[in-house]
């Protein structure tokens, strides 16, 4: 009985496999208008309305499933796009930084040509640290005494004077900015008779300076450029300003008659954006051909 | 074979037809991780596991033929593969009688893998320029994963549909009795009937 069942099972299996192979061979070898193809087309024609009806009936199921699938795919795409956005943001930031650096270097190059800074043996340096607070108006640069930098060397950036070297190491230097409360220099206005005075930071306004001790009756207007005076004391050889003459510092931002007449002072805005520059030029020989002024 | 009733044949035929239509009209159009699930090998696998090798092979043949017809494919290709799946799953039941609940899961994965790989091999043998590439392997693998996930629900559904039409299997009856504890040899008749009887008495 068992053998009979086994034989029957194997026979049926063999028949099914043979029929499949015959169908496969015939269908594959025949042309498109063969009987097998015709039968297949006939069955498809019969089943087509059923398929169409089933498709309509089951459309909501399909839509829900596609919505779920689409949502999952959208989440994956969102994560991927977010990663791309992050990468592009980083790239944009890098390019913006390079653009700013490029503009600064371009201005420094222009400054070299306009004021003849090249004669003062400038060396380029990068800002490696910056005090984030307003308490200390200092930056640290990556050049030091090993590179020829000396104390009190003027430092230019972003088209104008930004400070001088106040602390020196072998490979780095600290630059005190012109807006630090301890900074002051003789400066003159590039207009009229070249009125000169003492330029120092404005109290309580870290990004504003005051040019004081101007002669009474001075004719100064807003927008005029203020540069270093670079004076020398004829009575005391080797003493005078730390800065060579003609280096741009800022522009007159407020020249009211009241200030000029009563206080003999005008307000000056620095040319350089003192919170943003990333590279500087240190004038290592500010008095090339002359004796170096002594620090006070 | 004689135990297979007309009712069972009708249910299985209807099941196969509905499975092919649902696969064609709905499931094939739902993309999960770039692939679609394939219900038909799971249905054939389930029928094989529930009814045995010979019914499994026959159902595999006709389901495959229906798939090839509806999808206007080369007739016989899917039949050949589904015969193997139905027969193998039926033999699994007949020889090993696996009682573990996760057997349909493994059988579904194997059935889907056989379908994917077998289809590729047959198309290759027929000279069809099938894109045998890493992408194809990846698609087969993901389809196997997706089908494995839905194997248990499909099996449960098929079981629910055809079980009432199946002849009562003595082994299944015995297993049901053991799992429910009704005929456990570890219990005496008084223990088996005790709580219910006592509850009945106390309620009177």
Q: Locate the domains of chain B by residue range.
A: 6-167, 169-204
Helix (H, G, I), strand (E, B) or coil at A177: strand
Q: Label residue A24 exposed, middle or buried (CB < 10 Å: 0-12, 13-18, 19+).
A: buried
Q: Rounded distance, CA A239 to CA B132, Å?
A: 87
Q: Which positions in chain B touch A50 (Cβ < 8 Å)?
A: 21
Other beta carbons less than 10 A from residue A249's beta carbon: 24
Q: Which pair of tokens denotes residue A271? A: 């040319």
Other beta carbons less than 10 A from residue A292's beta carbon: 14
User: Which of A32, A57, A82 marks a domain boundary?
Assistant: A57
Question: Can you give the length of chain B in residues?
Answer: 204
Nearest to A24 among B24, B30, B77 (CB): B77
> Which comes out higher in pLDDT, residue B103 or A109?
B103
Q: Which positions in chain B touch A21 (Cβ < 8 Å)?
A: 76, 80
Find tokens 């060396």 and name the residue: A123
Q: Which positions in chain B touch A54 (Cβ < 8 Å)?
A: 21-22, 25-26
Please compute the mean of the pLDDT values over residues A114-123 and round it to a whole number. Answer: 76
Model confidence at B96: pLDDT above 60: yes
Cα distances from B19 to residues A246, A294, B15, B26, B42, in angstroms, run 91, 98, 6, 10, 10
Q: Label residue A239 exposed, middle or buried (CB < 10 Å: 0-12, 13-18, 19+).
A: middle
Residues A136 and A243 in one domain: yes
Yes or no: say if A214 and A220 are a contact pair by the CB < 8 Å rule. yes
Most confident stretch, A43-52, A127-136, A208-217, B152-161: B152-161
Residues A181 and A252 in one domain: yes
User: Does residue A25 sit within a domain?
Assistant: yes
Query: Are the beta carbons of A28 and B126 separated by less than 8 Å?
Result: yes
| pLDDT band per the 50, 70, 90 thresholds, residue A183 | confident
Yes or no: say if A188 and A249 are a contact pair by the CB < 8 Å rule. no
| pLDDT band per the 50, 70, 90 thresholds, residue A1 | low
Among the ranges given (A109-113, A283-287, B197-201), the one the predictor scored with the smallest mean pLDDT: B197-201
Q: Which pair of tokens denotes residue B176? A: 């049901």
Report which of A45, A130, A174 is spatially closest to residue B69, judged by C-alpha positions: A45
Find tokens 């207007």 and name the residue: A221
Model confidence at A225: pLDDT above 70: yes
| pLDDT band per the 50, 70, 90 thresholds, residue A205 | low
The predicted structure's pLDDT at residue A112: 67
User: Does residue A239 sit within a domain?
Assistant: yes
Query: Are the beta carbons of A23 and B21 separated by less than 8 Å?
Result: no
The predicted structure's pLDDT at residue A291: 47
Most confident stretch, A48-52, A87-91, A192-196: A87-91
Among the ranges given (A25-29, A137-141, B77-81, B193-197), the one the predictor scored with the smallest mean pLDDT: B193-197
The predicted structure's pLDDT at residue A230: 77
Q: Which positions in chain A touch B26 (Cβ < 8 Å)?
A: 54-55, 58, 61-62, 65
Report which of A287, A15, A21 is spatially closest to residue B81, judged by C-alpha positions: A21
Q: Kindly write down the DSSP assignment for every residue of A88-110, as one continuous string.
A: HHHHHHHHHHHHHHHHHHHHHHH
Helix (H, G, I), strand (E, B) or coil at B169: coil
Q: Which positions in chain A touch B30 (Cβ < 8 Å)?
A: 62, 65-66, 69
Residues A133 and A12 in one domain: no
Q: Where are the alpha helices (DSSP H) in chain A?
A: 2-29, 35-57, 59-115, 257-258
Q: Which pair of tokens denotes residue A89? A: 């943001």
Q: Rounded distance, CA A84 to CA B195, Å?
A: 68
User: Does residue A290 sit within a domain?
Assistant: no
Model confidence at A71: pLDDT above 90: no
The predicted structure's pLDDT at residue B106: 92
Please compute the mean of the pLDDT values over residues B117-136 and round it to a whole number. Answer: 75
Residues A48 and A139 in one domain: no
Model confidence at A185: pLDDT above 50: yes
What does the pLDDT look like over B43-64, one tens digit per residue? 999 999 998 888 999 999 999 9
| pLDDT band per the 50, 70, 90 thresholds, residue B197 | very low
Mean per-residue pLDDT of chain A: 80
Contacts of A51 (CB under 8 A, 6+ apart): B21, B24, B25, B70
Q: What is the pTM of this model?
A: 0.51
Nearest to A65 among B30, B65, B68 (CB): B30
Q: Which positions in chain B touch A23 (Cβ < 8 Å)?
A: 65, 75-76, 79
User: Does residue A113 sit within a domain?
Assistant: no
Please compute the mean of the pLDDT values over residues A220-227 and round it to a whole number. Answer: 87
**CATH number of the domain encompassing residue A171:** 2.40.10.340
For B75, the closest chain A residue by CA position comes to: A24
Q: Label residue B2 exposed, middle or buried (CB < 10 Å: 0-12, 13-18, 19+).
A: exposed
Nearest to B74 among A22, A24, A41 (CB): A24
Contacts of A244 (CB under 8 A, 6+ apart): A120, A154, A228, A230, A283, A286, A287
Strand spans (E) along A169-204: 173-177, 185-189, 196-202
Most B CBs within 10 A among A20, A32, A34, hence the mutation to make, goes to A20
Rg (CA), chain A: 41
- Is B26 an 8 Å CB contact of chain A? yes
Residues A136 and A273 in one domain: yes
Other beta carbons less than 10 A from residue A48's beta carbon: 11
Residues A6 and A147 in one domain: no
Interface list for A 21-60 with B (CB within 8 A)? 21-28, 36, 40-41, 43-44, 47, 50-51, 54-55, 58
Q: Which positions in chain A touch B61 (Cβ < 8 Å)?
A: 16, 19-20
Query: Are the beta carbons of B77 and A8 separated by less than 8 Å?
Result: no
Model confidence at A88: pLDDT above 50: yes
What does the pLDDT look like over A143-153, one tens digit per residue? 888 889 998 89
Residues A139 and A279 in one domain: yes
Residues A47 and A154 in one domain: no
**H/E element holding B73?**
none
Q: By residue range, what is the domain housing residue A27?
A: 2-57
The predicted structure's pLDDT at residue A160: 87
Q: Rounded distance, CA A36 to CA A42, Å?
A: 10
Q: Label residue A111 exposed, middle or buried (CB < 10 Å: 0-12, 13-18, 19+).
A: buried
Yes or no: say if A123 and A284 are a contact pair by the CB < 8 Å rule. yes
Q: Which positions in chain A touch B87 (Cβ < 8 Å)?
A: 13
Model confidence at A39: pLDDT above 60: yes
> Which comes out higher in pLDDT, residue A283 or A36?
A283
Query: Are the beta carbons of A47 and B70 separated by less than 8 Å?
Result: yes
Yes or no: say if B162 and B12 are a contact pair by the CB < 8 Å rule. yes
Helix (H, G, I), strand (E, B) or coil at A254: strand
The predicted structure's pLDDT at residue A234: 57
Model confidence at B198: pLDDT above 80: no
> Which comes out higher in pLDDT, residue A261 or B115?
B115
Query: Are the beta carbons of B79 and A36 separated by less than 8 Å?
Result: no
Model confidence at A258: pLDDT above 90: no
Residues A170 and A264 in one domain: yes
- Is B54 an 8 Å CB contact of chain A? yes
Find tokens 């002051």 and name the residue: A184
Residues A49 and A192 in one domain: no
The predicted structure's pLDDT at residue B175: 54
Model confidence at A287: pLDDT above 90: no
Model confidence at A188: pLDDT above 60: yes
Model confidence at B130: pLDDT above 70: no
The alpha carbon of residue A269 and the mean position of all alpha carbons in its chain are separated, in whole angstroms, by 24
The predicted structure's pLDDT at residue A121: 83
State how many domains chain A has: 2
User: Does residue A114 sit within a domain?
Assistant: no
The predicted structure's pLDDT at residue A135: 58
Q: Name the CATH code of domain B6-167 (choices 1.10.1760.20, 1.10.760.10, 3.30.390.30, 1.10.10.10).
A: 1.10.1760.20
Yes or no: say if B96 and B85 are a contact pair by the CB < 8 Å rule. no
Contacts of B100 (CB under 8 A, 6+ apart): none
Residues A44 and A128 in one domain: no
Mean per-residue pLDDT of chain B: 79
Residues A51 and A129 in one domain: no
Q: Which pair of tokens denotes residue A25? A: 């061979």
């Amino acid at each position: 009985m068992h053998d009979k069942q086994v034989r029957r099972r194997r026979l049926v299996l063999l028949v099914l496999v043979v029929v499949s192979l015959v169908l496969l061979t015939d269908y594959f070898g025949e042309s498109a208008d063969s009987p097998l193809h015709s039968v297949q087309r006939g069955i498809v024609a019969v089943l087509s309305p059923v398929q169409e009806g089933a498709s309509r009936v089951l459309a909501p199921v399909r839509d829900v499933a596609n919505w779920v699938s689409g949502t999952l795919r959208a989440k994956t795409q969102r994560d991927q796009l977010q990663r791309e956005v992050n990468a592009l943001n980083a790239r944009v930031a890098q390019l913006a930084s390079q653009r700013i650096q490029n503009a600064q270097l371009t201005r420094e190059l222009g400054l070299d040509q306009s004021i003849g800074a090249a004669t003062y043996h400038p060396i380029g340096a990068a800002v490696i640290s910056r005090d984030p607070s307003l308490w200390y108006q200092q930056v640290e640069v990556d050049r030091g005494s090993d590179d020829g930098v000396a104390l009190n060397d003027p430092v230019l950036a972003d088209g104008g004077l930004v400070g001088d070297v106040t602390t020196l190491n072998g490979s780095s230097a600290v630059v005190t900015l012109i807006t630090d409360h301890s900074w002051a220099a003789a400066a003159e206005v590039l207009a009229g008779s070249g009125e000169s005075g003492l330029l120092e930071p404005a109290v309580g306004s870290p990004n504003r300076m005051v040019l004081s001790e101007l002669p009474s009756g001075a004719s100064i207007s807003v927008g005029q450029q203020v540069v270093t005076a670079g004076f020398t004391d004829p009575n005391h050889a080797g003493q005078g300003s730390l800065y060579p003459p003609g280096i741009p510092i800022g522009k007159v931002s407020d020249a009211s008659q009241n200030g000029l007449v009563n206080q003999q002072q005008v307000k000056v805005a620095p040319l350089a954006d003192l919170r943003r520059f990333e590279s500087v030029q240190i004038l290592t020989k500010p008095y090339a051909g002359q004796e170096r002024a002594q620090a006070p | 074979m004689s135990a297979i009733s007309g009712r069972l044949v009708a249910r299985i035929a209807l099941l196969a037809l509905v499975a092919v239509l649902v696969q064609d009209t709905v499931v094939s159009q739902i993309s999960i991780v770039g692939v679609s699930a394939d219900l038909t090998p799971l249905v054939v696998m389930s029928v094989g596991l529930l009814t045995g090798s010979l019914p499994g092979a026959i159902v595999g043949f006709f389901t495959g033929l229906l798939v090839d017809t509806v999808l206007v494919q080369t007739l016989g290709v899917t039949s050949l593969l589904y015969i193997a799946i139905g027969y193998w799953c039926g033999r699994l039941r007949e020889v090993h009688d696996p009682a573990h609940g996760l057997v349909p899961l493994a059988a579904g994965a194997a059935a889907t893998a056989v379908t994917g790989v077998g289809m590729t091999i047959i198309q290759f043998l027929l000279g069809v320029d099938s894109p045998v590439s890493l992408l194809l392997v990846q698609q087969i693998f993901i389809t196997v994963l997706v089908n494995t996930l839905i194997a248990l629900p499909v099996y449960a559904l098929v079981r629910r549909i055809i079980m009432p039409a199946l002849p009562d299997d003595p082994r299944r009856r015995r297993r049901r009795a053991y799992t429910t504890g009704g005929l456990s040899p570890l219990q005496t008749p008084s223990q088996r009937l005790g709580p219910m009887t006592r509850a009945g008495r106390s309620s009177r």
